[in-house]
Amino acid sequence: MAARHELEIEISPSGKVEVLVKGAKGKKCMEYVQIFAAMGKVTDQKTTGEYYEPDQSVSLTDSIRNHSSK
């Protein structure tokens, strides 16, 4: 099951948008930042403790070893 990510979005009366990404470990949260950066100018960016945690992606590799029987 994929990790749950939450976006907390606050829009001030002046139109300033603040987004807090929760649940995205490591640099995964930066993917959400790119989405909002495409919509407008990013004036400030701060990272939380989750940014410094290991990514939750899993990488699997499969190796096959050939053994010669003599």
Is 30 within the bounds of a domain?
yes
- 68 lies in some domain: no
Task: Give the list of residues 6+ apart from residue 31 with CB closer than 8 angstroms, or none.
Answer: 24
In a domain, 21, yes or no: yes
Number of domains in the chain: 1
pLDDT at 65: 58
**Predicted confidence (pLDDT) per residue in 5-20, tens digit:** 888 989 899 988 888 8
Say if 62 falls within a structural domain: no
Residue 59 has pLDDT above 50, yes or no: no
Report how far residue 40's alpha carbon sits from residue 49's, in angstroms, rounded to the nearest whole number: 25
What pLDDT is stored for residue 13 in this prediction? 94
In a domain, 39, yes or no: yes
**Average pLDDT of the chain to the nearest whole number:** 78
Strands (DSSP E) found in the chain: 6-11, 17-22
Boundaries of domain holding 43: 6-52
